[in-house]
Amino acid sequence: MLGDQPWLVVENLWWHGVDGMPGARSEYDVLASDTFSDREAPSPLVSLKARPRTAEQ
């Protein structure tokens, strides 16, 4: 049924745990615990110049 959409299997495991093990999570929980999108990405630092340069300069 999910042959063309294998990721749905993963979603089911992810949200509902493994059959027969209430509250249990899939073996992939460990993998997904540190995803790229969970990590903090520093933003580029931008600050105002103390003395802006004018067109004449």
Partner 1 sequence: MSPPRERAAAARRRRAQGTVDTFSGARLGIARRIARLPRTELAARVGISPAAITQLERDQIRPTTALAAELTLALGVPSEFLLRSVSPHPIPASSAHFRSLRSTPAMSRDQALAFAELGLEVLTAVEDFVDLPRVALPVLDVSRRDTPEGLAQAARQARDALGVADGPVPHVVRLLETHGVFVVTLPDELTDRRVDAFSTAAARRPVVLLSPLKDDKARSRFDSAHELGHLLLHYDAEPGSKVIENQAHTFAAAFLTPADEVADDLPRRLDWPAFHHAKRRWGVSLKALVYRAHSLKLLNESAYRRANVRLAEWGNPEPGPLGPPESPSLLGTAIAMLGEIGVTIHDVAEHASLPVESVQDIVDAATDRRPHIDLA
> Phi and psi dihedrals of 22, rounded to 5?
-55, 135
Nearest distance, CB of residue 28 and partner 1, angstroms: 4
CA dihedral (13, 16, 22, 23) positive or negative: positive
Rg (CA), the chain: 24
Nearest distance, CB of residue 34 and partner 1, angstroms: 6
Nearest distance, CB of residue 23 and partner 1, angstroms: 20
Q: Which of residues 1-40 bind partner 1 (CB under 8 A)?
A: 5-7, 9-10, 13, 28, 31-32, 34-37, 39-40
